[in-house]
Structure 1
Amino acid sequence: MDAAFTEEQDEIRRTLRALLRKRCGPEQVRAAVGTPAGYDEALWRQLAGQLGLPGLALPAAYGGAGCGPTELALACEETGRAVLPAPLIGTAVLAAPLILAQGGERQRTALLPPLAAGELTATLVVPGGRLATALALTGPNDGDWAGGGRAGGIQARLSPEPEALPPTGGGRRAGDTWRLYGEATQVLDGHTADVLVVAAHTGGFARSRTLLFAVRAKGPDGAAAPGLLRTRQTAMDETRPRARVELRDVAAELLGEDASGGDAAAEGAAGALAATGATAAACLAAEAVGAAEEALSRTVDHVKERTQFGRPIGAFQAVQHRLADLYVAVQAARSAAYYAAWAAGGGRPEPGAGALALAQALETLRAVSAEAVQLHGGIGFTWEHAAHLYFKRAACDELLLGPVHRLRARAAEQAGLFAGEGADGAVAGGAARPVARAAVRA
């Protein structure tokens, strides 16, 4: 493993950091989240047009830059540093990789180039707020998390058309269309995304499976798709807007034109979600590291300037020790995030690396943001202070992607630490399982 970044990777980081310092200060962030879209659309077009940010990890054949998870993670570290409100995670980290992995050639050609160019945005719709489960970060994603049985979650069914041709070899008549119905909450950028990649349950009890579908949120005339209702939700972290998405018999297209909807398609969907989860965990970990480093940097600058008892409070040894501990934690989380991105890019398959890096980064951001509020004193407790942008991001990201102890437990299971379990869940030695779990949670 070569830990040194290439000249191109360093240039991506430098260019993005310089642009965001000019266009994405705390006051500009607050102004952007107050808009109906929840982000600065002009800045997003600039990031897409000049830097190719949404297509950074997409192949050049589909309008992307042809880079990989490492470059995308470096970009996310810089957007996290600025707490950038933008549809980057939903578009480039979640939806586009799934379309690339599961979509047919016609679907890729139609969707990926405009996503890479920033002309369209996209997101992943998972019912029940179970994003971490769908991405296999807190447990296996081979169950009925999308909506087991005949009700609940999001259901998909084939709707026969009167003009449909006779059934094909897969048992589906040419001309039949997929219809989705159900509801999902806490969907990232769900109120503005142009393309929804929806994880839906189909097959009833006997052939229960989860498949991935593409839904165009707007028609050619710009009107909302029939049956689709989207409502922006109130969130503590306004820099990561979320929405409730209701699907009332909405027309959808199964990702993978040649998929019959059988077991192979379901296994492919689960595998694609898990692979996307590994990259997403690395990118989100890097984003949290960027936010933590910026919060720490702002705090260090503050303790150098604020005086108490005739000297800067940063001169007190107790304050120095607290900041030193935070610095070590940030550097450790950065190393874990970089390693997870390298592993996700094919450096070395490492089960659980993404979940473990994400757990460490979220925990670090939580600790740094809390100390930032404390060390800024009375001003740090006001909502208007920049420290709260990072504090809210830490709290809400763990609710969305964690909790941390489940991320660690999943990483431990994938690493085989609990391989000695019996059928009843017991481990040889009796106390081994509780001790192992306590170690994971510590």
Structure 2
Amino acid sequence: MSTDPDLLYSEEEEALRAAVRDLLTDHCDAAGVIARMESDAPHDLALWKSLTEGMGLAGLLVPEELGGQGATHREVAVVLEELGRAVAPVPYLTSAVVATEALLACGGEEAAGLLTRLASGRTVGALAVGLHTAPGGAVKAVRQDDGRLHGELTSIADAAVADVLLVPAEDGGLYAVDTSDAAVTVAAQVPLDLTRPPAKVVLDGAPGRRLGDAEPAVRRALRAGAGLLASEQLGVADWALTETVRYLKERKQFNRPVGGFQALKHRLAQLWLEVVSLRAAARGAADALATGRDVDVAVPVAQAYAAPVAVRATEEALQLHGGIGMTWEHPVHLHLKRAKADSIAYGTAGAHREALAELVDLRAP
């Protein structure tokens, strides 16, 4: 019997995709997202409630006995593909994936209680580690003094809507900190990607509840974040390709569709090949995380490939949409900014190539 992974989508995964896409079509149209980016509240908490309380998607990775769905990373990857296509401004990757994975690594009653709250979607969590940090990378820790945390952390994605922060401390512990505490200050930072804004977090003697050891929890969380980010990048790239093909079929020049020009056909064909390869890499990473097989290879392979493809796909979309692609009203800029921001999230493509090289003892000079 073959032990090769089946990277095709199952019937259940396709049904999940259809349900999520229908919801996003009805409640996350491009005009609405762009309008939200001009407001003081970029996160769409109504959409978040529909995804979590309505569909139970925040608890996909949480065991059923803790109030979750007991699903796998493959199902989460499908959700992230659709969220990437819509550039949905919700804290799904940060709360339902990264923070959840950190808590799953901790064990204990405190972590279990938090997992139940995160699975319901009524509580949003965020790992207080810079979004740029690669799995195994250096993590900034805060000072812990008799259960009180002191320090400043930057580039914490979705911290503005987090109810609880998971904070690594210098004593080696991971602590839960409620953002409602007066000793916690969360200040927005200027983002490139307006749909996933980062923030600076200042802890001035904030009370923290120890959850477990920080190092294994952070490593597990960042590894899952990097692996499943590739599925979000796939969604971004696939939207860019699909919309560009549709536009070039409709746009006419010299009384013929622009898409009929040979040079543009070649560009689109090359992009299609890259997006198909990205799908294989992203599915490989999701399956590896779900099964625990070859994770140390599949995740960096996916991230090393995903970032440049997503960026190139959105850049091509911008160029091939011509003048309309340069307008604020067209959503291509949202996808380009998400692709650019994702390209440095959870480690750059270069950092993941270095991780792969280390596995075969091929170190950089």
TM-score, normalised on structure 1?
A: 0.78
Question: Residues 324 and 188 (structure 1 numbering): CA distance in 2 closer, same or farther, change over 3 Å?
Answer: same
Once the two structures are TM-superposed, the CA of residue 304 in structure 1 deviates from its matched residue by 0.7
What code does the residue aligned with 1:287 have?
A: E
Aligned to 1:416: 360
Aligned to 2:281: 336
What code does the residue aligned with 2:353 have?
A: R
Query: Which of the residues 137, 140, 143 maps onto 1:146?
Result: 140
| % identical equivalent positions | 39
1:214 matched to 2:217? The reply is no
Aligned to 1:23: 27
Query: Which of the residues 104, 110, 119 maps onto 2:108?
Result: 104
1:237 matched to 2:231? The reply is no
**5+ long unaligned stretches in structure 2:** none
Aligned to 2:18: 14
1:304 matched to 2:249? The reply is yes
Q: Which string of whole-angstrom CA distances, capped at 9 and with x for unpartnered residues, describes residues 259-286 of structure 1? A: xxxxxx4xxx322322222321221100
**5+ long unaligned stretches in structure 1:** 148-153, 160-177, 203-209, 219-224, 257-264, 422-432, 435-442
Query: Which of the residues 314, 318, 325 maps onto 1:369?
Result: 314
Q: Give the Cα separation in 1 of the matches to 2:109 and 2:307.
A: 37
**What do you get for the CA RMSD once the two structures are aligned?**
1.8
Structure number with greater Rg is: 1
Once the two structures are TM-superposed, the CA of residue 358 in structure 1 deviates from its matched residue by 1.6
Question: Residues 350 and 95 (structure 1 numbering): CA distance in 2 closer, same or farther, change over 3 Å?
Answer: closer
Aligned to 1:119: 122
Question: Residues 247 and 347 (structure 1 numbering): CA distance in 2 closer, same or farther, change over 3 Å?
Answer: closer
1:188 matched to 2:157? The reply is yes
Give the total of aligned pairs.
Answer: 361
Are the equivalent residues in 2 in contact too, given 1:45–1:118 (CA < 8 A)? yes
Question: Residues 241 and 355 (structure 1 numbering): CA distance in 2 closer, same or farther, change over 3 Å?
Answer: same
Aligned to 1:247: 203
Q: Which string of whole-angstrom CA distances, capped at 9 and with x for unpartnered residues, describes residues 123-142 of structure 1? A: 0112xx36423xx2xxx34x
Q: Give the Cα separation in 1 of the matches to 2:255 and 2:71.
A: 52
Report the secondary structure of 1:410's partner residue: helix
Once the two structures are TM-superposed, the CA of residue 254 in structure 1 deviates from its matched residue by 1.1
Aligned to 2:143: 155
Query: Which of the residues 203, 211, 224 maps onto 1:279?
Result: 224
Report the secondary structure of 2:343's partner residue: helix
Q: Give the Cα separation in 2 of the matches to 1:107 and 1:286.
A: 27
Q: Give the Cα separation in 1 of the matches to 2:324 and 2:285.
A: 37
Q: Which string of whole-angstrom CA distances, capped at 9 and with x for unpartnered residues, describes residues 232-261 of structure 1? A: 2221211112111111111101113xxxxx
Aligned runs of 1:223-234 on 2, under 5 Å? 225-234=181-190
Question: Residues 35 and 193 (structure 1 numbering): CA distance in 2 closer, same or farther, change over 3 Å?
Answer: farther
Are the equivalent residues in 1 in contact too, given 2:189–2:198 (CA < 8 A)? yes
Once the two structures are TM-superposed, the CA of residue 11 in structure 1 deviates from its matched residue by 1.3
Aligned to 2:263: 318
Greater shift, 308-317 or 399-408, is seen at 399-408
Question: Residues 370 and 399 (structure 1 numbering): CA distance in 2 closer, same or farther, change over 3 Å?
Answer: same
1:55 matched to 2:59? The reply is yes
Q: Which string of whole-angstrom CA distances, capped at 9 and with x for unpartnered residues, describes residues 313-340 of structure 1? A: 1000100000011111011011001111
Are the equivalent residues in 2 in contact too, given 1:235–1:241 (CA < 8 A)? yes
Q: Give the Cα separation in 2 of the matches to 1:232 and 1:255.
A: 26
Are the equivalent residues in 2 in contact too, given 1:184–1:246 (CA < 8 A)? yes
1:90 matched to 2:94? The reply is yes
What code does the residue aligned with 1:108 have?
A: A
Aligned to 1:46: 50
Aligned to 2:68: 64
Q: Which string of whole-angstrom CA distances, capped at 9 and with x for unpartnered residues, describes residues 192-242 of structure 1? A: 20010012223xxxxxxx331111112xxxxxx021111122212111121
Aligned to 1:355: 300
1:387 matched to 2:332? The reply is yes
Once the two structures are TM-superposed, the CA of residue 80 in structure 1 deviates from its matched residue by 0.4
Are the equivalent residues in 1 in contact too, given 2:165–2:179 (CA < 8 A)? yes
Once the two structures are TM-superposed, the CA of residue 72 in structure 1 deviates from its matched residue by 0.6
Question: Residues 69 and 228 (structure 1 numbering): CA distance in 2 closer, same or farther, change over 3 Å?
Answer: same
Q: Which string of whole-angstrom CA distances, capped at 9 and with x for unpartnered residues, describes residues 50-82 of structure 1? A: 211111111111111100111111110111011
Are the equivalent residues in 1 in contact too, given 2:140–2:168 (CA < 8 A)? yes
Q: Give the Cα separation in 1 of the matches to 2:131 and 2:251.
A: 43
What code does the residue aligned with 1:216 have?
A: D
What code does the residue aligned with 2:35 have?
A: A
